[in-house]
Amino acid sequence: MTSKIVPVIMAGGKGTRLWPLSRATAPKQFIRFLGPTTLYQKTLERVSDSNRYEAPIILTNEDFRFLAAEQARELDIDLSGIILEPIARNTAPAVAAAAAMVRANFGDDAIMQVLASDHEIDAGSDYFGAIDTALEAAKSGKLVTFGIEPTEPATGFGYIEAGEELPSGARTVARFVEKPAQDKAEEMLAAGNYTWNSGMFMFPVAVLIRELEKYAPEVFEFAEQAVLKDESDLELDFTRLDKETFAQCPDISIDYAVMEKTSEAAVVPSAFTWSDLGSWDAIWKDGEQDGSGNVVSGDATLLDTRNSLVISRDMHVAMQGLDGMAVIASEDAVYVGKLEDSQNVSNIVKVLKGAKETKALAEEHPTSYRPWGGYTSIIKGERFQAKRIFVKPGKKLSLQKHHHRAEHWIIVKGTAEVTVDEDVKQLTENQSIYIPLGAVHRLYNPGKIMLELIEVQTGSYLGEDDIIRIVDDFGRG
Tens-digit pLDDT profile for residues 113-123? 999 999 999 99
Q: Give the residue-averaged pLDDT of 356-370.
A: 86
Query: What kind and span of H or E run contains 206?
Result: helix 205-215
Report which residue type is found at 3.
S
Interatomic CA distance for residues 83 and 59, integer angstroms: 5
Measuring CA to CA, which residue among 185, 157, 169, 53 is closest to residue 112? 53
Interatomic CA distance for residues 274 and 130, integer angstroms: 13
> pLDDT tier at 234 (50, 70, 90 boundaries)?
very low
φ, ψ dihedrals at 318, nearest 5°: -115, 130
pLDDT for 314 equals 81
> pLDDT tier at 230 (50, 70, 90 boundaries)?
very low
Whether the per-residue pLDDT at 236 is higher than 50: the answer is: no
Full strand arrangement of the beta sheet holding 325-329: 295-297, 309-312, 325-329, 334-338
> pLDDT tier at 235 (50, 70, 90 boundaries)?
very low
Query: What kind and span of H or E run contains 185?
Result: helix 182-191
Lowest mean pLDDT among 53-62, 364-373, 378-387: 364-373
> pLDDT tier at 477 (50, 70, 90 boundaries)?
low
User: Cis before residue 20, ω within 30 degrees of 0?
Assistant: yes
Query: In the beta sheet, which residues pair with residue 469?
Result: 400
Whether the per-residue pLDDT at 23 is higher than 90: the answer is: no
Whole-angstrom CA distances from 54 to 39, 43, 155, 240, 404 are 20, 14, 36, 21, 48
Give 173-193 pLDDT, tens digit per residue: 999 999 999 999 999 999 999
Give 138-152 pLDDT, tens digit per residue: 999 999 999 999 999
Whether the per-residue pLDDT at 335 is higher than 50: the answer is: yes
Cα torsion at 279, 280, 285, 291 (round to 10°)?
A: -170
> pLDDT tier at 1 (50, 70, 90 boundaries)?
low
Interatomic CA distance for residues 102 and 205, integer angstroms: 8
* Residue 178 burial (10 A CB sphere; 0-12, 13-18, 19+): exposed
Interatomic CA distance for residues 358 and 364, integer angstroms: 10
Whole-angstrom CA distances from 16 to 19, 169, 226 are 5, 37, 29
Give 384-439 pLDDT, tens digit per residue: 999 999 999 999 999 999 999 999 999 999 999 999 999 999 999 999 999 999 99
Interatomic CA distance for residues 324 and 31, integer angstroms: 23
More confident residue, 116 or 367: 116
Report which residue type is found at 291.
G
Whether the per-residue pLDDT at 229 is higher than 90: the answer is: no
**Mean of per-residue pLDDT scores for the chain:** 92
Interatomic CA distance for residues 251 and 264, integer angstroms: 23
8 Å CB contact between 473 and 69? no
Q: Give the residue-averaged pLDDT of 92-105.
A: 94
pLDDT for 476 equals 64
Interatomic CA distance for residues 188 and 102, integer angstroms: 37
pLDDT for 440 equals 96
More confident residue, 270 or 63: 270
| Residue 252, phi-psi category: left (phi > 0), alpha (psi -120 to 50), beta (remainder) | beta
Interatomic CA distance for residues 313 and 333, integer angstroms: 10
**Which segments of 320-452 does DSSP mark as H helices, in order?**
345-354, 359-363
Report which residue type is found at 179.
K
